[in-house]
Amino acid sequence: MKNVLAEAHVPESAFGKWFLRSKTWTDYVLEVALEDLTDLLKHSPKTFNVIADVGCGYGHSITKLHARFNPERLIAMDIDQEMLDETKKQVAAHNLTNVDYIRCSGSMIDLEDNSVDMLFCHQTFHHLIYQPEALQEFLRIIKPGGTLLFAESTKRYIHSWIIRLLFRHPMSVQKTADEYLDLLKSSGFEIKLEQISYPFLWWSREDLAICENLFGIKPPTEREETLINLIATKPLC
């Protein structure tokens, strides 16, 4: 199992691990994505009794998912044991008793078929080497009619100089927003146009929006997207 897990992802840099613990991550990346995804969910309101978080990091997403959706059961999944251990500390600090923990890769998930109502995949997919296999696993564990909350940085962002400098990713598998859409649809997920969002947030720009904020230089209206958020659904049959 250890060798399989080691081959399934590119370990995060020391800076990346620090960043995942920072207030910038929790407030300007994670929280903003959850607000956007929740807004997209208004087009198909549902109750989620079982929520799984693939790539839970240091656990901030678990507590936020609990506060926002109040599920009966939460499942924290990550390939990195250190991150799962830190997630347990976050969960204990918030007195949550409904969380289970699984160490696994996104392409080999130790859950039964049709076992979760929602799968939360936030800034995790671009870390995965075996992306088509991961989507097949996502489709397998989500219940028919269940939901995938997908929030990702695109190739344009991951290949930028600042991200190459500070973080570590499997560069050959990065995709554009359209390529992610095509991959999700070809894997069997259904996606409605009104449940797709393309944020252009300050942290997703190579200059961190300095040109706009300091010099008033607006970004071009026609651009290659740096982020994609969407709601995908597993067909009922």
% of the chain exceeding 70 in pLDDT: 93
| 48: in domain | yes
Q: How many C-beta neighbours within 10 Å does residue 188 have?
A: 14
Look at the chain and report how many structural domains it folds into. Answer: 1
Range of the domain at 90: 2-115+134-206+224-233
Among residues 62, 67, 109, the alpha carbon closest in space to that of 90 is found at 62
Rounded Cα gap, residues 148 and 188, in angstroms = 12
Name the β-bridge partners of 122. 151
Q: What is the mean pLDDT of the chain?
A: 91
Q: What is the CA radius of gyration of the chain?
A: 17
Does the structure show a pLDDT above 90 at 71? Answer: yes
Residue 147 lies in a domain: yes
| Averaged pLDDT, 104-114 | 95
pLDDT in tens, 170-193: 999 999 999 999 999 999 999 999
Predicted pLDDT at 12 = 85
pLDDT at 4: 47
Mean pLDDT of 119-146: 96
CA gap 52, 77 in Å, rounded:
7
Looking at residue 2, its pLDDT comes to 42
Is residue 16 included in any domain, yes or no?
A: yes
In a domain, 21, yes or no: yes
Kindly state whether residue 47 falls inside one of the protein's structural domains. Answer: yes
Contact 218, 212 (CB under 8 A): yes
CATH for 86: 3.40.50.150
| Residue 3: per-residue pLDDT | 45
Res 202 pLDDT > 80: no
Identify the three-state secondary structure at position 23.
helix
Q: Where are the alpha helices (DSSP H) in 105-171?
A: 131-141, 155-158, 161-166
pTM: 0.92
Half-sphere exposure of 52 (CA within 13 A, CB side): 27
229: closest CA among 188, 200, 203, 197? 197
* Residue 60 counted as domain residue: yes
Is residue 219 in a domain?
A: no
Distance CA 126, CA 175 (A): 8
Cβ atoms of residues 228 and 180 within 8 Å:
yes
Residue 73 clears pLDDT 80, i.e. is over it? yes
CB–CB of 64/90 below 8 Å? no
Q: Look at residue 172 and give its three-state secondary structure.
A: helix
